[in-house]
Structure 1
Amino acid sequence: MIEHLPPELITSLQNITGFHEERFKEVHRSDELVTSIRINPKKISGEQFDAYAAIPWNPYGYYLPQRPMFTLDPLLHAGAYYVQEAASQFLWEVLRQNYQRSAPVTALDLCAAPGGKSTLLSTYFTNGLVVANEVIKSRAAVLEENITKWGNMNVVVTNNDPQQFQRLEGFFDVMVVDAPCSGSGLFRRDNEALEEWSISNVELCRKRQQRILQDAYTCLKKEGMLIYSTCSYSPAENEEMVDYILQHFNVQPVRIAVDKDWNITETISEAKQGYGYRFFPYAVRSEGFFVAAFLKNDGTVFTDSIKGNVAAATTKETAEINKWISYARPVCFFKIKDTILAMDAAQMQALSAIRSNLYVKKAGVEIGEIKNKGLVPAHALAVSEILNHELPSVEVSKEVALDFLSRQEITLENIKPGWTVIQYNSLPLGWIKVLPARVNNYYPVEWRILMKTK
């Protein structure tokens, strides 16, 4: 419950379309919070969520009646769903109105951690490639974890400053800039955002947003789409940024058709008449959010044909790996040091260009290392879309699944020796290796559940 909101914020919103001061204050005084998720259609069916209210602008989004203890749900760690604000899932609708899902789009999520919009992009573009970038090293590690658990092969995770994307001029069809902001849209669930909010911080964020856009703009190709969003209410970070974009870049605003029953507020920027879309929590079941889209009129299309900067797996290695995977389209296996990775063959040239210009933390699916006795599989393979589900596996209870995810010792009976996929609700959680006297737990130590599970 928030009794007092910053008066400067309230004052700044007085002339914004759709703003109702008393309703705004009332919803922040309320203890009611909204919890929503987006399921992974490659891992779980929406049929089991038929009893829940659907998010109307995303076919895979659902509202939950209450907030569970997500950390203790094995399905979260299996990548079956992502906990994401309903408003943020509106990105799907923006894409749906402008791109076919099968389009061979190369998309950049420039400020990607913790990974909500990147996983959405990778689900939407079935034949595309998503570059998920995060400049802060610690946040990039969280991004890599969430991308790995989601399991899609069409994602590259990078850890670069936006300015470094100038090296890939005209490379991306879509650029999503979910910009660092003052966070007022999250006041109801983030007390720290409320405590840190100030007009000076809004101004600092606005300047940072402008720098990010200036630094990365050239990597968007001609006729590419820029999607700008924040979790702020402040006009300085929203409508005024729409005007800034239209004043400083050769772009045109994109209007999104919004169903009136959704109660999303369309706003028009004062100087340049650009479109923006606001989510007020008294009108929409979500926290605060703003999004605007633009088409780029100028620029070039990336033409450098960079090839061969990845070492291909040998014929013998490929024969071994093929036993472990199953995928409908051609896959390329390549090596970084001793680790073998897999990428959709259609994306290899793009990957070469990315690796030649940026620092890459993760590319495609990590398969593992070939040792004397065969493949030592990586955790990423177990939770990926390319895992061969004919491999040995064992279904376990929730209690055993949580022991595995906590990296504790587990006991299983009547299991054949060797590498085995441990599953919960038929979804892979990772690898165990069954030995004559024990079971080795290979869940990544840095991802283990630290919360008490019993």
Structure 2
Amino acid sequence: MKLPVEFEKKMKNLLGEDFAAYEQHLDDPAYYGIRVNTLKISVKEFLDICPFPVTPVPWTENGFYVRREDKPSKHPYYHAGLYYIQEPSAMAPAAYLPVVPGDRVLDLCAAPGGKSTELGSKLKGEGILVSNDVSISRTKALIRNLEMFGIRNSVILCTEAKHMVPSLTGFFDKILVDAPCSGEGMFRKGNNEIKNWEQKGSEPYARLQREIVDDAVKLLKPGGMMLYSTCTFSPEENEQVIEHLLTENEDLSLVSMKMCDGFDCGHPEWTLTGREDIKKCIRLWPHRIKGEGHFLALLQKAPGKETSFSGEKYPRVKLTRETEAFFKDCHMDIDWNRVQEFQGKLFYLKEEFPKLSGVRILRKGLFLGEMKKGRFEPSQPLAAALYPEEYDKYISFELEDERTIRYLKCETLNADVETEGIHLIGTGRFPLGWGKVKKGRIKNKYASSWRWM
């Protein structure tokens, strides 16, 4: 791999004698990984049914190396949301942010959703996850990944952090800022990252990162924790951004994190003031670990007076007869006072959430389905969020049954089922989507946008 001349000079200065090892690693194949969705299955249970060989990723309990040739995206368990395909180093930020059930969590730069899906899994359906990205095109993948993972308690936004501040100052217990960066740690993935660096370098990203974290810290409640991460090596985008944060916010301090073999600490000599607490940051160098380059910093705001928030109130939704009939078979615990209707579409957010203004809201809670003339159409996200015991009519195909793949390809199927109507379709105990049974045939209701290709 041919590195840009200026970048090579920079890395030689940063790494010294270690540069030769870094340069050599660039010709090695990249590592490939999956992360288990512990909202749907425990790691132990997954390992018992895992269809391909895996090796643990050291810095996260539910991450595993896999071989690219095993094609994990071409398996029904992927479509059932049992795991997310993710570069191993990219698993670290969400793993190191100590989210617990009941937290209010913000993933500020969330698309395509790799880190948000893990944060949502950690919440176990309690609390609230706000996933935001400024790019409307990138939020399409974000929405799909959160829905496939079965996360019920998410709000998805498309806005800049500064627009959240008026409504959500001091609201969040935990914030993840996986900041846009120059991507120096991902050069091994392809030429696009190198071309981007040659065009922009580090400086414009460093300015943007400071703007983002300055707003993010306002959204963090007293006593809350924020994790900042990038996939770049540049001190201007890493140590110096954290130095800026600590200088501007006396109530912030760095928190020590678990060190794994091959990890490096932050470098005080790469800051402008030489502050020693920068050593609490973590650097992942790709020639020292089995993964790409990353930087992590965990910060905590000092305790203080917390702001009280009142949740938005919704008018009681008038359900159609067909909708009421459907939910007689569905035993998911729903507080109908927390359900909103938009042009017949129903969304459920169990937790109270403030009314936002000047913010583009793409999803507010779990999309339950749509009330149409003479029928109710349950949604694909609802199917992905349910457990088999939460819906009375469940058809399970064995993993080896050719109908499992045919269902994911949106084909009509035969089924020896006497009860007609809407059924939840799955493989084993893992739901995939909906189907309508009539006279021994299943009319496929699997979302065409999720179709097995």
Please indicate, yes or no, whether the TM-score normalized by the shorter chain is above 0.5: yes
Which residue, 32, 42, 62 being the options, matches 1:35?
32
Return the letter of the residue paired with 1:184.
E
| 2: CA distance, partners of 1:411 / 1:368 | 23
- Check if 1:242 corresponds to 2:213: no
Amino acid corresponding to residue 414 of structure 2 in structure 1: L
Pair 1:437–1:413, CA change in 2 (3 A): closer
Q: Quick check: 1:154 aligned with 2:153?
A: yes
- How far does residue 196 in structure 1 lie from its aligned partner after superposition? 2.3
Match of 1:295 among 291, 294, 300: 300
Please say if 1:334 is aligned against 2:340. Answer: yes
CA–CA distance in 2 between the matches of 1:73 and 1:354? 40
User: Residue type matched to 2:248 in 1?
Assistant: H
- List alignment gaps of at least 5 residues for structure 2: none
Aligned partners of 1:413 and 1:28: how far apart in 2? Answer: 52
What is the rounded CA distance, in whole Å, between the counterparts of 1:326 and 1:264 in structure 2? 47
CA contact (8 A) 2:175 2:216 kept: no
Counterpart of 2:310 (choices 302, 305, 319) is 305
TM-score normalised by L of structure 2: 0.86
CA contact (8 A) 1:265 1:279 kept: yes
Distance 1:313 1:379 in 2: 21
Match of 1:430?
Answer: 433
Gap regions ≥5 residues in structure 1: none
How far is the alpha carbon of 1:199 from its aligned partner?
Answer: 7.3
**1:343 aligns to 2:349 (yes or no):** yes
Further displaced range: 416-425 or 374-383: 416-425
* Aligned residue in 2 for 1:133: 132
Partner residue in 2 for 1:62: 64
Q: 2:107 aligns with which of 98, 106, 109?
A: 109
Deviates more, 1:176-185 or 1:18-27: 18-27
Return the alpha-carbon distance in structure 2 between the equivalents of residues 18 and 316 of structure 1.
70
Counterpart position of 1:383: 384
Q: What's the RMSD between the two structures over aligned residues?
A: 2.9
- The Cα of 1:405 is off from its aligned counterpart by 3.0
Distance 1:250 1:403, change over 3 A: farther
- Distance (whole Å) between structure 1 residues aligned to residue 149 and residue 264 of structure 2: 31
Aligned-pair distance for 1:418?
1.7
Find the residue that maps to 1:76 and give its secondary structure.
helix
Q: Quick one: structure 1 residues 392 and 123, their matched pair in 2 at CA, closer, same or farther if it must change by over 3 Å?
A: closer
Is residue 180–residue 209 contact of structure 1 (8 Å, CA) maintained in 2?
A: yes
Which runs of structure 2 are paired with 1:405-420 in the superposition (5 Å)?
Answer: 405-407=408-410, 409-416=411-418, 417-420=420-423
* Alpha-carbon distance in structure 1 between the residues aligned to 2:192 and 2:94: 29
Alpha-carbon contact 2:387-2:429 (below 8 Å) kept: no
Q: Using the alignment, how far apart are the partners of 1:119 and 1:19 within structure 2?
A: 39
Aligned-pair distance for 1:16? 4.3
What do the CA deviations read for 1:81-100 (whole angstroms, capped 9, x no partner)? 0112222222354234xx6x
Matches within 5 A, 1:364-383: 364-371=365-372, 375-383=376-384
**1:249–1:320: structure 2 CA closer, same or farther, 3 Å change rule?**
farther
Q: CA deviation at 1:245?
A: 1.8
Q: 1:293 to 1:19 in 2, by over 3 A?
A: farther
Mapped to 2, the partners of 1:16 and 1:89 lie a distance apart of: 25
Counting matched residue pairs gives 435
Question: Structure 1: how far apart are the matches of 2:380 and 2:426?
Answer: 13
Q: Distance between the aligned counterparts of 1:315 and 1:425, measured in 2?
A: 32
Identical positions, percent? 28
Partners in 2 of 1:159 and 1:153 — Cα distance?
A: 19
Kept in 1: contact 2:57–2:64 (CA 8 A): yes
Q: Work out the CA distance in 2 between the residues paired with 1:14 and 1:43.
A: 45
Corresponding residue for 1:263? Answer: 262
Q: Which moved more, 1:190-199 or 1:278-287?
A: 190-199
TM-superposition CA deviations, 1:75-129 (whole Å, max 9, x none): 2222110112222222354234xx6x24x31111010001111111112233321
Amino acid corresponding to residue 279 of structure 1 in structure 2: L
Aligned pairs for 1:146-185 within 5 A: 146-167=145-166, 168-185=168-185
C-alpha displacement of 1:225: 1.7
Shift of 1:374: 5.4
The C-alpha deviation readout for 1:285-328, integer Å capped at 9, x for no partner, is 111111112223498633242431x2333488785464344457
